[in-house]
């Protein structure tokens, strides 16, 4: 990608904010490692969303002020966080009973690849000696909704594909994909673009996606000639 192209779309924090917009009052939501952890810092004012951290916490708050970090108060990425009033701690087995038992309204996860059918690959790269699964496989089978929050491409290679070529985390599990370029739903009718990031045309998005996309005519950006 050229420098000009990198400026298109949402920044990481804008992407996290876009995801946070769709979280409903009263939801219990797990945040995965990476960009998803930024969601904790941008929860809309006035909305009570209770964030779950797989290491055994409900009520995760924003990052602490410098100097206030506590090594015994960390998120799934082992970064210091804060606890909101009403928050609580529990063991790892309780944490995953919560996850696997279907008690969380949404899990927001990263991805290496996602297929047009909602298959997710997020734990092992073919060129790396080790995979690292963490809680991803439990979250994908257990959460009521699985949202991905990720860069649209990795080093110019599209992450949204027809079929995953990397080892799967779980098949047919992803409901919605948020990237720096767009918001895309995984439906029985294929991948449907719900929103384009600022400056992104549908043609540009399709050119950077290795699976067919659909979009309602009313959602097209200025400059798009394609009508789907």
Partner 1 sequence: MIQKKYENTAKAIADIHDGATLLVGGFGGSGLPSHLIAALVEQGAKNLTVVSNNIGAVSDGVAALISNNQVKKIICSFPVGPHADDLIARLQNGTIELEIAPQGTLAERIRAGGAGVPAFYTPTAAHTELGEGKETRMFNGRLHVLEHAIIGDFAFIKGHKADRWGNLVYNKTQRNFNPVMATAAKITIAEVDEIVEVGELDPENIATPSVYVHRLIKLEPQREGRVLVNE
Which of 135, 132, 139, 192 has the alpha carbon at shortest distance from 167?
Answer: 132
Helix (H, G, I), strand (E, B) or coil at 41: helix
Check residue 203 for interaction with partner 1 (CB under 8 A): no
The answer to whether 181 and 157 are in contact (CB under 8 A) is no
Residue 157 pairs in a beta bridge with 154
| Structure tokens given for 224 | 């798009």
Rounded distance between C-alpha atoms, residue 219 and residue 225, angstroms: 12
Among 107, 113, 135, 182, binds partner 1 (CB under 8 A): 135
Positions 23 through 82 that interact with partner 1 (CB under 8 A): 53-57, 67, 69-74, 78-80
In the list 5, 13, 44, 131, the residue contacting partner 1 (rule: CB under 8 A) is 131
129 lies in the binding site for partner 1 (CB under 8 A): yes
- Measured CA to CA in angstroms, residue 47 lies from 56, 89, 183 at distances of 22, 22, 21
- CA–chain centroid gap for 50, Å, is 17
Kindly name the residue from 14, 45, 54, 162 that is annotated as catalytic.
54
What's the full length of the chain, in residues?
Answer: 228
Nearer to partner 1, 126 or 156 (CB): 126
Residue of the chain from 23, 35, 136, 197 that contacts partner 1 (CB under 8 A): 136
Closest distance of CB 31 from partner 1, Å? 14
Q: Please pick, from the candidates 17, 61, 96, 192, the single residue that binds partner 1 as defined by CB under 8 A.
A: 96
Rounded Cα distance between 18 and 42, Å, is: 9
Q: Does 212 bind partner 1 (CB under 8 A)?
A: no
Choice from 21, 91, 165, 187 touching partner 1 (CB under 8 A): 91
Restricted to residues 157-176, the positions that interact with partner 1 (CB under 8 A) are 167-171
- If phi over 0 gives left and psi between -120 and 50 gives alpha, with beta otherwise, what is residue 139? alpha
Q: Is 54 a catalytic residue?
A: yes
Contact residues toward partner 1 (CB under 8 A) are 53-57, 67, 69-74, 78-80, 83, 89-93, 95-97, 99-100, 124, 129-138, 141-142, 167-171
Residues taking part in catalysis: 54
């Amino acid at each position: 990608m050229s420098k000009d192209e990198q400026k298109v779309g949402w920044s990481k924090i804008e992407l996290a904010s876009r995801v946070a917009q769709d979280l409903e009052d009263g939801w219990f939501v797990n945040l995965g490692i990476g960009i998803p952890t930024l969601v904790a810092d941008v929860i809309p004012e006035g909305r009570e969303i209770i964030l779950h951290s797989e290491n055994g916490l409900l009520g995760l708050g924003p990052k602490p002020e410098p100097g206030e970090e506590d090594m015994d108060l960390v998120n799934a990425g082992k970064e210091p966080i804060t606890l909101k009033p009403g928050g609580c701690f529990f063991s790892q087995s309780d944490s995953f009973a919560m996850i696997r038992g279907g008690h969380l309204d949404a899990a927001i996860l990263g991805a290496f690849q996602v297929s047009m059918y909602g298959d997710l690959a997020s734990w092992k790269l073919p060129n790396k000696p080790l995979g690292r699964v963490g809680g991803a496989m439990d979250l994908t089978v257990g959460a009521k909704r699985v949202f991905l929050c990720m860069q649209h491409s990795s080093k110019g290679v599209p992450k949204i594909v027809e079929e995953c070529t990397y080892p799967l985390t779980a098949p047919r599990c992803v409901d919605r994909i948020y990237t720096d370029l767009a918001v895309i739903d995984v439906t029985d009718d294929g991948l449907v673009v719900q929103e384009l990031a600022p400056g992104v045309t549908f043609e540009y998005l399709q050119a950077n996606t290795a699976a067919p996309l659909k979009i309602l005519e009313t959602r097209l950006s200025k400059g798009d000639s394609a009508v789907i």
